[in-house]
Amino acid sequence: QKSPGLQQGFRSMFFMLTPNESSFQKVEAVPQYVEQATPFFIGLMVLELLVGVLKTGGSVVTISDGLTSISAGMVSRLPMLLMRGCELSAYMYVWDHYHLVELPWDSAWTWWLTFLGVDFCYYWVHRFAHEVAVLWAAHQVHHSSEYYNLTTALRQSLTQQFTSWIFYMPLALALPPSIFAVHIQLNLLYQFWIHTELIRDLGPLELIFNTPKHHRVHHGRNLYCIDKNYGGILIIWDRIFGTFASETDKVIYGLVFPIRRFEILHVQFHYYLYLWKKSKIYKTIIHKLATFFNGPSWKPGKSRLGDHDDNPKVCIIPQRKMPSGFITHHFDTRKTQMLSQLTVLGMTCYILLTLTSLGFIIDQRPRAASLEMLRCVIMVTMHRYSYIKPFLPLLAVPTEVRPTVVCLGTVETCCLHCCHTDSCQKPIHD
């Protein structure tokens, strides 16, 4: 498999590769652009942080929200440890058994046609993810942050990939899998850099391309922002199909009904539980099914997509910092390269346990101490058998950590203790 150079890898983040350098005959020869982009993700996030401090005098990222976004990104990649991506696997199956024509893999026309096809299909993947409640249950993860920065781009769903592949299958009737494998990655990488507030306007490019200005609207919960600007690389699809909106009022980010939780499994799965409970209220099977397949705000008597009459008033709420004393470690990749699937599955469970424990600590859950104790016991055991190791071995000594939590913002005294719990119904003031 070919690995892109440093310069080519950086250009792939902005869809600045030519057909000649990114066309391959075999799928096996296609670089893992997304996996190899990790240094660029980190570099751009650090750059955004520095520029944000210089421009605004404060951080554009909070530790708790940023870590939750990164944790979601890690969780979303866990299935890749056990299998190939659903979209590419399904695509190759349809191509092998049902393709009607075979366009040449080394033609620039094929490359550009695949670019348009993948971006067009992504528009519909994205739009259906907002207009079908059971698909929204997966996609809402990406919208759950109340900040908008490059870490938000990493806040991806664990389950969305299990349904998104369906929308790309028509392309497999004609377009080679190797070219599709390039564009499905480049389309995703392009969407990383548009998650920032520091780039305000790109002039004429705003007419054709999806930009930070357009995508800020998509992440807003202001009434004019909801269900707008679905495009991936191109914004022309939204202009054609009537889902485009320009940025006007200050955008307030996050879900219409904010979850205000950092526990990663809750962030990933809470909406599925909500839909199940909502469906149990209705008596008829039609209404029960409509709960899952109509819009998220649908109720009996309303149109398929529902309306926004019940939306709460948009306001800015205070955010919390993460407790101090977070200690990191990593797996010894030299050893994991030859591990059995059972061991990989065990490590996957440990990663989920670590991220869940972190969320419990940030949320100040009563069982946080017990869960963290369990994680530490497992960590010491894995360290004993060399499955993980600290970044700095010299610092691998027993350390006592006393976490502290700082709550930012001014709230009513009666809400000081419970302002971030689901049960609190009192208003939180900016």
pTM greater than the 0.85 cutoff: no
- pLDDT at residue number 2: 59
Of the residues 241, 261, 294, the one at which a domain ends: 241
- pLDDT at residue number 3: 67
- pLDDT at residue number 79: 75
Of the residues 193, 214, 241, the one at which a domain ends: 241
Dist CA 279 CA 290 (whole Å): 8
Q: Give φ, ψ of 391 to 5 degrees.
A: -60, -40
Looking at the domain assignment, is residue 139 inside a domain? yes
- pLDDT at residue number 389: 64
Q: In the numeric block, which tokens belong to residue 292?
A: 């899952």
The set of residues, in sequence order, having a beta carbon less than 8 Å from that of 87 and lying 6+ positions away, is 161, 164, 165, 168, 184
CA angle 293, 130, 245 (to 5 degrees): 145
Q: Are residues 218 and 344 in the same domain?
A: no
| Ranges of residues in the chain whose predicted pLDDT is under 50 | 319-339, 341, 399, 401, 403-430
Q: Are residues 335 and 235 in the same domain?
A: no
Which residue segment(s) compose the domain that 373 sits in?
330-395
Q: Are residues 10 and 133 in the same domain?
A: yes
Q: Are residues 225 and 341 in the same domain?
A: no
Count of structural domains, the chain: 2
- The amino acid present at 306, given as its one-letter code, is G
Looking at the domain assignment, is residue 168 inside a domain? yes
Of 194, 248, 255, the closest CA to residue 224 belongs to 248
Looking at the domain assignment, is residue 338 inside a domain? yes
Q: Hunting for tokens 């971006």 — which residue is that?
A: 119
- pLDDT at residue number 384: 67
- The amino acid present at 204, given as its one-letter code, is P
